[in-house]
Structure 1
Amino acid sequence: MKDPRKIGALIAMLVLAGTTANPGYAQDAEHGKTVFKACAACHATDHANRVGPGLGGIIGRTAGTVPGFRYSDAMKKSGIVWDAKIVDAYLESPQKVVPGNRMPYAGLKNPTDRADLVGYLATLK
């Protein structure tokens, strides 16, 4: 398996195996890429900032630390290090995970779509 995207998706599947609401469901990073289209209005898949920060390398990154992006105090002070579990929770309810953050998004309620989206985000470097 030499395709880095497939390797990233495989790693994401292994990491998420215990965090999805659908145990045993293999995350589909390609479907996650489709789900991401709704996010693309504000977020880039690389390190470029738009209305929201670039999401390249989000897994393992400390929240509120992308250079040049103006974060809310709530996000900067959250102390979160983005892993699959916290990204999943944040995508479900951003205000519940980081009260006072500025992301104007009500949340992605479908657990399969969230798991696939997290799988896709894990492939972004």
Structure 2
Amino acid sequence: MFDTMTITKIAGGLFGAWLILLLGKWGAEELYHAELHGEPSYAIEVAGAEAEEPEEEIDVAALLASADVGKGESVFRKCSACHKLNGEDAVGPHLNGVVGREVAAVDGFGYSGALSAQADAWTPENLYAFLLNPKGWAPGTSMGFAGLKKPEDKANVIAYLQSTE
């Protein structure tokens, strides 16, 4: 029915078309980034659309009561790329004694100014909110960390930071 050359041509055509499709998709993604265009200027409201449920209040004190300092130390490894605990500043300020310390209070460190406008001191509640979404809590902060999503991770890190004072 078909000889080997015909089957090879058909397979080559299919694989070539697939390759062109993948290269076109990659090229389009490189040329156009929708997320870089910001918020839409006009949003269309859809009737019957459900409003987002408000996030439930989290009792930070209760989470801290059950926090594990050892787990907090291992989660802190994500932070240790920029923050140190020995009193020396790195990319970010040192974090030993941060719980209860005034916001933006490390002498000689160049803060962005966005933090001071949000709070007076690093209470566990303020740290919890900041660790959830640093750029959302303090818009304009120069900290590039995306945040910790798990409530237990945030509580464990705060407990670990409290233990390093």
Shorter-chain TM range is 0.7 to 0.9
Q: Give 4+ residue runs of structure 1 displaced > 4 Å after superposition.
A: 22-25
Structure-1-length-normalised TM-score? 0.78
**AA in 1 matched with 2:108:** G
Larger Rg computed on CA atoms: 2
CA RMSD in angstroms comes to: 2.1
1:119 has 2:159 as partner: yes
Displacement after TM superposition at 1:45 (Å): 1.1
1:19 has 2:60 as partner: yes
In the other structure, the counterpart of 2:42 is none
Displacement after TM superposition at 1:123 (Å): 1.0
Displacement after TM superposition at 1:44 (Å): 0.4
**2:99 touches 2:158 (CA, 8 Å); kept in 1?**
no
Query: Would you say how many aligned residue pairs link Structure 1 and Structure 2?
Result: 108
Displacement after TM superposition at 1:25 (Å): 6.8
Give distance in 2, aligned partners of 1:23 and 1:75: 24
Structure-2-length-normalised TM-score? 0.60
**AA in 1 matched with 2:132:** E
Identity, in percent, stands at: 34
Structure richer in helix, relative to its length: 2
In the alignment, structure 2 segments of 5+ residues that lack a partner are 1-57
| SS of match in other structure, 2:115 | helix
In the superposition, relative to structure 1, how do residues 115 and 23 fare at CA in structure 2: closer, same or farther (>3 Å)? closer
In the superposition, relative to structure 1, how do residues 24 and 98 fare at CA in structure 2: closer, same or farther (>3 Å)? closer
In the other structure, the counterpart of 1:59 is 99
In the superposition, relative to structure 1, how do residues 37 and 69 fare at CA in structure 2: closer, same or farther (>3 Å)? same
Q: How does 1:1-125 map to 2 (within 5 A)?
A: 18-19=59-60, 26-125=66-165
| SS of match in other structure, 1:69 | coil
Give distance in 2, aligned partners of 1:90 and 1:34: 19
**2:63 touches 2:152 (CA, 8 Å); kept in 1?**
no
